[in-house]
Structure formats: C-alpha cells, structure tokens
A and B are shown apart, each in its own frame.
Chain A
C-alpha cells in the first residue's frame, strides 16, 4: 500500500503539461526515446500531451504521422524491438479498431512468443473518456479491452503528479505500456474540469511505480475503488461525506497488472466495497475486482459489492442520455450511502 507523497512540491501543472514534461526529461537523457503520432508536432497533441516537444526536439524526434495507425504503431513496435523507446500516440482510444492487430497480436505477444528473447519497450498513449457529448466513437474508456490481453501493461493516472511519474516509468519499462489519459483529467483550457486536474508536480524526474495503487483518501467505513477521472469524482464525494461516512478511495493508477493486494487490504479494513468505473460494466474492470474479492475471501465483506459503472450501451450523444449513463458524483454518493446505511 502506498500513500501519495504529501510533499510533492508547490509548482502546479496540468496533467497534459506533466505528461509532456515527463517525456521531455526522458528525451533529454536518452536519445533512443522519440515520439510519433497524429498532430503531435507543431500542434502539440490534440489533448496537449506533447506540448512544446516539437520546439525543443524538432521533426526528427517528434514525428507527425499520416492517418495510418496500423502503419505507425507497427513502426513503433519495429523500432522498439531494435532497442529504441518510442512513445506513440493513438489520438483517441476509440480508433484502436483500425490498428488492433499490431497491438494485440504483435506489441503484446512478441516478448512471450520469443521466449523472452525480444523486448518491446514502447509506450502507446491515448485519450479516453467522455462527458462532453463526443458520441459513441470518441468517448469510450476501453481500458479493460487492453488489460484483457496478457502482455500489456495498462496505466490510467487521475492527476498530474501520477501522470508524470507513470509516463517516466512507462518509458523506462521494458514492456509495452498502454498509457491512457482521460480527456477530463488533462486540465485542458477548452473543457470543463475538476480543479484536481491541475496540481503540484515536482520539477525533477521521478517515477510512480506501475502496478501500485494509491490510497488517495483514507477512510474506515467503505472502500471505493476507481481509476482515472472517476477517482476525482470519488474524492469529491469522500470529502463531502467526511464526518458523516468515512470513505477510503483507492486510486488504482494501473489497471494491468492490477494491485489486488491494496484493494484486498482496504476491503479487509472497511468491509464494504463500491467499484466506480467509466468503462463498460460487463466483462470489465469492475467485474475483475469483484471476482478478486470473491476468489480470495468473500467473508471480508459485510454487504454485497456495489458497482457504479457504464451500463452496457454504446455512448449516446445527447447530454441527458450521456449523463444518465456516466458514473456521476450523485450516483457514487448514493451507492456509498446505500451500502453504509
């Protein structure tokens, strides 16, 4: 169990800036690191993940690509197996469909198929999530889709501090890492945001370990496990309920490999579990966590598990429809109250 460092410095960055700073620092010390993707050059990434990199490193290390995801993600794999450390951006996770063979059958499996002889030290970063009416093809989370495939590590930070530390860990990792940034945590100037999307980030390089969850808010009555933007909602609810209900918020930070120990330890303490997930409910992260409790020790629970997850529907456009489906603060609070009452 790790508790987020309480003194991470006073300088405040958006998550987008924290990510690009992490990439820049690794690029300065390691000439094998380079970036490619659509609009990652002068534009700085549609969601700001590569802001400023083109100015510093130029077109030879920050490569704008054609709209050819199979081509350039495959090229990232090829460069990685030759020992480089590419950071490749897939603009929205939803576009995975046009390049999934490279991801599922190559990036994920080469190390295993080669009996450990070939490594794929590559980062594939991508935007996830909805809440701003971008419709069924531009609003999904889909972390479980990637976490389902053995051989892929999947991280999804909820705040700027973790985003930078996880990016540096991902670049240094010898495995392919899917780095998922929810648009809602990036601190974008053109999207409504939670103040938690801008926060203290140390200037120096540091790592946040892949595969380690964080206790983002300590509590004793109920454990709420979540990841990415939903963690911000959970923290808002935990703070609101403080004094009434003591909520422990577990920020998974990594989906695969899942930090089951931290979840189990928290549930052992509280005896109650709410899982909050913006990804589809069935066959996903929330089910995996529930199964972990059921497999290890269902007697930890004083009440049945509750899930606040995206219902099994494609993401609708109209705001009233989308918010009917999203895991909002109201739904999280209601689930907690229901469980504790």
Chain B
C-alpha cells in the first residue's frame, strides 16, 4: 500500500512536472511566430515534452535516492525533475545560459547533474549501457546504490538495449531498465515496429524478471519499481519493466501529428493527472482549495525558474572553446 501522504506527494509532483512542461511549451513557441522557425526564439532547437508520462517519472523516482543513477532519453524533463535536478539550473540550460547545468553547451537533450547522478542523451537507447556501467561502479565499490535506464518503447529495438540487458544479467548488476511505452516512436506505432506485444517478455531472453505495467497509474508504477529496486539493492540483479503510458502532445513541438488520426483525441483524454486527482478527492485526501494551492505553488516555482533563466547571462562567445578536454 502507498500511504496517504505519499499519494498526495505523487499528485503534487505530477502537477509540478506538468506545470513545467506547459510553461516550457508556452515559452518555446512564444517567439517563433509569425513564420515558425525551429532555430528562433529564447528556446531554440528541438523540444520533446513529456505531458502524460508524469506517472512514470514520479512513481519511479519516489524509489530512488540522490546516489542512485538515472540515464534518461531525449525526452528528459519529467525524469530530471522527479530525480531532484535543480529546476533553475535545468531551465537555464534549456535557455542556453551560463547558469545552466552545462553552461549552455548541452541544451534540453543533454542535461547532466552529477550530484543527482542524472544524465540524458539524444541517441536512442544509448543511455542503457551507461547505466550498466554506473551499476558496475556501484557494485565494485560495494555500495547499495542502483542505476536506472529509461528509454522509450522504440529504443527496445536498438542493439544497445539487448547488449545492456545481457551484460547486466550476466554480471548480476543493480540495474533497472524502464521502457516508457507511449505507443509511438515519432510517427511509427509500436505494433508495426516491434515483434512482440510486450517488451517485458524480452526479459526472459536474458534470464531476468520482466513486468509490464498497464494503466499509467502512478501507484502501480511505484509498487512495481519498488520490487525491482529492492531486488537490485539486495544483490538480486537487474529487472526490465515496461510501463504503458501516453504521449499527449507531439513527438517534438511543432509536430502536426497527422499520422495519429483519432487516436490523438483518445490520448488527450487519457490525461493521468485529472484521473488521479479524482481518485484522491474520492478518497478524501484532497480538497478543492488544496488542489488550487498545489497548482499555485507549482506555477510559482516554475515561473521563478523561468525568470531565473531569462535573467541569467548568455555565454560569452569565447566560452565555445572551453571544456573540450578535461
């Protein structure tokens, strides 16, 4: 069972992440008009947002400590925030400022926070072997930290996924592989790209436990990850979890999503946050005023982070030549 305080905390975290994604979305588009130009504006470049996938990040990270590692994919904000990455430093990075996590060099797909052992990569599935190596370091050093690799269901058809699973299984490393199944890899639906209906079945090929979690339910996700983390921390080796979630928005901002047809409306209607809110109201854990307060707090924190980013200095051009070598 998940206790009631934790349930409210789950809700709070999900609202916080959604407020963040909505604000980034607003500012990303704000200065790209009238002729929409991907390279223009205060936030240029590609932008992959995770609205709908909050339950995965929150249910997962509630099981993690700062010293546990997490590698995220190209869609990283929800995972970074849930892992405890500083919102201001991350936002400044997205705005390309010197106060950003990478001093403006990385951008939204390249957020690195060594204190929180958080990183991400824009190359599909390539965070998975890195998590194996982090787990290898933890086990060599005799700590009980675990490493988590998160990737989309599209990544499960990449060689790195299979190689990482085999390595982690053979060496019995404390790794949790999480596949966020949002049904789509850009415009390619999972059933035309993946030979099995359930990626957790692939765990059997490597002799590790596998489980698929339906329903995009933060509590079920929390429980499943808890079992996997407990197993990893106690020397039981890796686990593969596939979590069925939903991509409410485009693959990247600007994606017209013509390929989705009627499914898009279904996805938008499957918003996990109002659903969880209704549950907590029914269980008498949240009042209307508490809901309003949670949203107000989230909005305030997010707007403060954005204001911090906007007020931060842009890099000096000469900074481009620093940090090539250590």
Which residue of the partner chain A has the closest CB to B44?
A133
A132 touches B44 (CB 8 A): yes
A38 touches B159 (CB 8 A): no
Distance in angstroms between the alpha carbons of A190 and B185 in the assembled complex = 21
A134 touches B320 (CB 8 A): no
Render A298-325 as a binary contact track against B, CB cut-off 8 A, 1 for contact: 0000000000000111101111111111
A318-B259 CB under 8 A given contacts A65-B193, A137-B109: no
Question: Shortest CB–CB separation between residue A99 and chain B, in angstroms?
Answer: 9
B321 touches A98 (CB 8 A): no
Of A43, A65, A317, the contact of B105 (CB 8 Å cutoff): A317
Tell me if B13 is interfacial: C-beta within 8 Å of chain A: no
Interface centre among A137, A318, A319 (most CB of B within 10 A): A318
Residues of B within 8 A of A39 (CB): 186-188
A67-B45 CB under 8 A given contacts A43-B259, A137-B123, A319-B96: no
A321 touches B105 (CB 8 A): yes
Which residue of the partner chain B has the closest CB to A59?
B192
A133-B317 CB under 8 A given contacts A38-B188, A318-B97, A321-B104: no
Residues of A within 8 A of B110 (CB): 135-137, 317
A68-B45 CB under 8 A given contacts A313-B321, A321-B315: no
Distance in angstroms between the alpha carbons of A172 and B160 in the assembled complex = 34
Tell me if A191 is interfacial: C-beta within 8 Å of chain B: yes
Distance in angstroms between the alpha carbons of A99 and B93 in the assembled complex = 30
A321-B106 CB under 8 A given contacts A66-B154, A137-B123: no
Tell me if B124 is interfacial: C-beta within 8 Å of chain A: yes
Question: Shortest CB–CB separation between residue A258 and chain B, in angstroms?
Answer: 28
Tell me if A64 is interfacial: C-beta within 8 Å of chain B: yes
Residues of A within 8 A of B259 (CB): 42-43
Distance in angstroms between the alpha carbons of A321 and B97 in the assembled complex = 10
**CB proximity to B under 8 Å, residues A119-171:** 131-138
Residues of B within 8 A of A191 (CB): 37-39
Render B176-195 as a binary contact track against A, CB cut-off 8 A, 1 for contact: 00000000011110001110
Tell me if B107 is interfacial: C-beta within 8 Å of chain A: yes
A318 touches B314 (CB 8 A): yes
Residues of A within 8 A of B46 (CB): 134, 138
* Interface range, A side: 35 or more
Residues of B within 8 A of A43 (CB): 186-187, 259
A316-B187 CB under 8 A given contacts A67-B158, A70-B159, A138-B122: no
**CB proximity to B under 8 Å, residues A86-119:** 94-95, 97-98
Question: Shortest CB–CB separation between residue A61 and chain B, in angstroms?
Answer: 16
Which residue of the partner chain A has the closest CB to B195?
A66
Which residue of the partner chain B has the closest CB to A131?
B39
B107 touches A135 (CB 8 A): yes
B107 touches A133 (CB 8 A): yes
Tell me if A291 is interfacial: C-beta within 8 Å of chain B: no
B154 touches A324 (CB 8 A): no
Which residue of the partner chain A has the closest CB to B106?
A317
Residues of A within 8 A of B68 (CB): none
Which residue of the partner chain A has the closest CB to B258?
A42
Which residue of the partner chain A has the closest CB to B157?
A66
Residues of A within 8 A of B321 (CB): 311, 313
Question: Shortest CB–CB separation between residue A291 and chain B, in angstroms?
Answer: 24
Residues of A within 8 A of B104 (CB): 316-318, 321
Distance in angstroms between the alpha carbons of A325 and B188 in the assembled complex = 35
B317 touches A317 (CB 8 A): no
Residues of B within 8 A of A68 (CB): 157-159
Question: Shortest CB–CB separation between residue B294 and chain A, in angstroms?
Answer: 32
Q: List 21 A–B pairs whose Cβ atoms lie within 8 Å, in order of A's numbering.
A: A43-B186, A67-B125, A67-B155, A70-B159, A71-B157, A97-B123, A98-B159, A133-B45, A134-B107, A135-B45, A137-B110, A190-B38, A192-B40, A311-B320, A313-B320, A314-B105, A314-B324, A317-B45, A317-B93, A320-B315, A321-B96
Residues of B within 8 A of A (CB): 36-40, 44-46, 93, 96-97, 102, 104-107, 109-110, 121-126, 154-155, 157-160, 185-188, 192-194, 254, 258-259, 314-321, 324
Question: Lowest 8 A-B CB distances belong to which pairs?
Answer: A132-B39, A317-B107, A318-B96, A318-B104, A133-B44, A133-B45, A66-B157, A324-B317
Given contacts A94-B123, A317-B110, 10 further A-B contacts (CB under 8 A): A64-B187, A65-B193, A134-B46, A135-B107, A136-B110, A316-B320, A318-B96, A319-B39, A321-B104, A321-B317
